[in-house]
Homo-oligomer: A and B are copies of this chain.
Amino acid sequence: MENRKLVMIPGPTPTVRSINDQMGRETVAFGDPEFVNDFSELIVDLKEMWGVNGECFVVAGSGTMAMEMAIANVTKRDDNVLIVSNGFFGDRFIDICTRKGLNIDVLSAEWGDIVSVEDIENKLKEKDYAAITVTHVDTSTGARAPIEEIGKVIRKFPNTVYIVDGVAATAGEREYVDKMGIDILFTGSQKAFGVAPGLAILWAGQKALNRRKSLGTIPEYYIDFEKWIPIMNDPTKYYATPAVNMIWALKESVRLIKEEGIEERYERHTRVSHAFNASLEALGFEILTKKEYRCSTLSTVLYPEGIEDGEFRRILAEEGVMVAGGLGDYAGKMFRIGHMGNIDDHTIYSTMATIERTLIKLGYKYEVGIGLKTLLEKM
């Protein structure tokens, strides 16, 4: 029989049966009392679990839309925005901000490295920034920004709204919104929540909500906080039709997270990523990300001599494991593999076995089994 395809790209991540089942339910009216109750409970859980005294928005769209939603609700034309970029997705804020008439400054790191907290603090002293954007984990590089330390610095700048892009992090990396001084955090459903793509999830603390209020009417309509706040607090109200099935699926994901324990989930991601990276290194691969900045949700993996990207990924896919290629300058030199969301140890073992099998098929000379041995020792 043909192998199942394990979706080990860094999002969409594998969707478990109970989440699929919620997706596949017969759709109900968005005013259906049971659905209203489900939606309300979901919002309460999300606020509580991510520790925000503010609002949580769950809106049909994507992580990209959430990026724009964050910017649109806390800035106005000619405001200054500081973009901290550790890769492709950090850079994405440049286009979003520029087209809205914002003045941007960009602090960029080499791919695999991060912008230092000191550089950020120094830059913030230079002028009055309405907002700063930081990508928690940049999916292009696997680098994790020290969002808590940055948060401590930003507390000294009361006019600056702290936006954290959690797309490749949230529900896999530790994030406590108010406690870390984060003003806006967002993600998409298809990453560490392990739901199909199609929802943006965004948390906003009081500082961000006050900023929104101070702006009056904003040019954006669908992504306007003010339109959604009444609905998120009382889903019997109507603004735009909520994505009923996607919301059920996200609710099931949250149920699974509570069942696992959110702290235990974070620890699992740490444990699995350490073991997985060590195994890849034992096989002769190199991890792009500097050791101290490696995230727990994905690995960015440079090929050893003699392994060709296209061939490796083709055979790996035939054997049943999907991974992603490198972005930007790293296209063809690297693959990116996710290990976030609702993946159990079976999936991790089998992914490593399939990587080894692929190396054998490619005639790569190495100590067969060393990847799996390392995994067993470290996990």
Contacts and interface: CB of A to CB of B under 8 A. Distances in A.
Interface residues of A, number: 56
A15 to B, nearest CB: 5
Interface stretch (A41-49, A93-101, A293-301): A93-101
Contacts of A14: 26-27
A175 to B, nearest CB: 20
A367 to B, nearest CB: 30
Interface in A93-118: 95-96, 98-101
A54 interface: no
Nearest to A62: B240
Contacts of A64: 221-222, 239-241
A65 B245 contact: no
Contacts of A9: 29, 31
Interface in A183-217: 188, 190, 196-199, 217
Contact of A62 (B20, B29, B219, B222): B222
Interface in A225-246: 239-246
Contacts of A23: 23-24, 245
A219 B222 contact: no
25 contacts: A5-B32, A11-B241, A12-B244, A15-B26, A24-B25, A30-B197, A31-B322, A60-B60, A61-B61, A62-B243, A64-B241, A96-B221, A98-B217, A99-B217, A99-B218, A99-B221, A196-B243, A196-B244, A197-B241, A197-B242, A197-B243, A198-B243, A198-B245, A220-B220, A246-B246
